[in-house]
Chains A and B, each alone.
Chain A
Amino acid sequence: MFRYIVKRILMMIVILWCAGVVIFTLTYLVPGDVASLMLGKEATVEVINQKRTVLGLDQPYLVQLGRYMYDTFIRLDFGDSWIFSSSVMAELAVRLPRTLLIGLSAMVLNVTIGTLLGIFAGTHEGKWQDSLVMIIAMVFISAPDFFVALLLILLFSLKLGWLPAYGIESMACYILPIISCALGGIAVNARQARSSMLEVIRADFVTTARAKGQKEKVITRKHMLPNAMMPIITGVGGGLAMVVAGSPVIESVFSIPGVGAYMLAGVNQHDYPVVRACVIFFALFCSVAILIMDLCYAFLDPRIKAQYSKGKKVK
């Protein structure tokens, strides 16, 4: 088990290195001269050239790449923003909790509500409750999350006036972003939970449990649920990555100064240190999330756990 974790972590570091090269190259290839874009049309050639030297843009590609890789992965310093000349790392540290708060709470809602709805639909297969849940789930899968967010703003902020529509002044500001992030995921999880529930319902061990006269509620809770949960738990890492990677859109709807909005501002202003730092951060976050979920999965599922402890005595 330990060897597996070390192997995965080493692999992750190599992949992040390569991802760094890809990101640098992508942003390097963007057309347009950053220095002249930053200084505006009236700047003289001399000033522009001076700016290019300051930013290190006059160096050849490989030198720039080397310096970037050294700074980012050896010194662990994302550099300074070109536009605001402030440290990107410090800015990320301020913005990160906001993005994580939304992402993690949305994920908790996704898993709990999604699973409950899925089980509800699965145990009522073919009845109207099942159809109703599945139709609602399909609607929320089909609606773009920013449109759902706008609808929520329209209803709860503008018509009813219950919740603020933008900003981060109070905790109430986070309610609408979290809900609009979560709705799509709840729908996906409900469908997933329902289909794995239906698989489990026909399994032999459920028939056995019924045959020995076990109560239906106990069968659902103790026999079906743990097995039906497995695909959902596998999806948690990827789902969290999806929610966090989708943050630019949701944060721009609610004007939340999070990591996603930071990245988007960087893209629009050609502020590449910011863009690179944000993407590398997202990549790191996603890899770690998926790694942690894989490990949890191995611990939760006795069948997989048994594979790792092969040769040792299995208790």
Chain B
Amino acid sequence: MSKTRKVHKQSQTLEFFQRMTKAFSAKLGIILLALIVLVCLAGPFFSPYEVNGVDLANMYSGPSSQHLLGCDSMGRDLFTRLMYGGRYSLALGICASLFGAAVGVIIGSIGGYFGGMTETVIMRLMDVWSALPGTMLCILVSSAMGSGFFATVLALTVGGVPGTVRMIRGQILSERSREYIEAAQSINCSNLSIMFKHLLPNVIQPIIVTMTMGIGSCIIMAASLSYIGLGIQPPNPEWGAMLSEGRAYIRTYPHLILVPGIIIALAVFAINLMGDGVRDALDPKLRD
């Protein structure tokens, strides 16, 4: 075996992480989010309480050494429910955001790449789609599809698709006439492989940024849906559903709304800080 000279090349991922964590706020966001995810994933294994374990002796009890964040109207341990609920809320946010981006990318790339009639039809469809306000569509789809996990993901996705499609199409339009696309076409590359192997990596950056930011707004939207009685339903411990359950006791036991509300805000805060970091790392031009 011949000796190859080692070339020191930093991996792109590593460089991305270094750029992302340069700002203090992004670092804080990542640490906070990692902490929340870790507690939600691992915490329930260490909790002595069942997620729906009723304990009538401790109804409405405030924070104590036994129940760190107190108990709800049925004596269920709030901290345990928060950790289980976090799995729901975070998974909903991430899945909805990913799914929305995937649908948007596929439709947008087809529209942008093929152009002509295909593009016109897709863009007019998007006009109609975006004429219906996102929140309304979300409520309608959620009520039509029921309260399952996937139904809620779909409901959270529908509002954001037209925006992603427009963005991708715009990006692809500006890349379509570049030389490397012409080169790929001239060596008889298939449309599919040009679209996803050559074009997509060049237009993916803004999508990653919107997707990261989108996780936060999806979590808020999911919580709003549960709050108005759609989406994930009690007794499932989704954060918004917990808030909705606590609403009846706002006068007497405000910790029942404070605890889930603050954790939603904290999680979304962390995600948004991270999103700002991702944006700064991927595209210095977009920076404030």
A contact residues vs B (CB 8 Å cutoff)? 11, 15-16, 18-19, 22-23, 26-27, 29-31, 138-139, 141-147, 150-151, 153-154, 158, 194-195, 198, 241-242, 244-246, 248-249, 252, 263-264, 267-268, 275, 278-279, 282-283, 286-287
Contact = CB atoms under 8 A, between A and B. Distances in A.
Q: Name the interface size band of chain B.
A: 35 or more
B141 interface: yes
30 contacts: A15-B127, A18-B128, A22-B129, A26-B144, A27-B144, A29-B144, A138-B272, A142-B265, A143-B261, A143-B265, A144-B220, A144-B224, A144-B240, A144-B268, A146-B224, A147-B223, A147-B264, A151-B261, A158-B254, A242-B133, A245-B133, A248-B139, A248-B228, A249-B224, A249-B228, A252-B228, A263-B136, A264-B139, A283-B132, A286-B133
Nearest to A155: B254
A19 B128 contact: yes
B135 interface: yes
Contacts of B228: 248-249, 252, 264
A78 to B, nearest CB: 16
A154 B249 CA distance: 11
A30 B139 CA distance: 12
Contact of A279 (B140, B257, B261): B140
B216 interface: yes
Given A29-B144, A150-B257, 5 more contacts: A23-B132, A141-B272, A246-B135, A252-B228, A278-B136
Interface of chain A, main secondary structure: helix
A249 B227 CA distance: 8
B75 interface: no
Sorted from nearest, which 9 A-B pairs have the closest CB atoms?
Answer: A245-B133, A142-B269, A147-B261, A142-B268, A143-B265, A18-B128, A195-B288, A245-B135, A30-B144
A15 B135 contact: no
A245 B224 contact: no
B250 interface: yes
B251 interface: yes
B205 interface: no
A241 B133 contact: yes
Contacts of B134: 245
A31 B151 CA distance: 13
Contacts of B223: 144, 146-147
A160 to B, nearest CB: 14
Contacts of B224: 144-146, 249
A79 to B, nearest CB: 18
A278 B135 CA distance: 13
A164 to B, nearest CB: 14
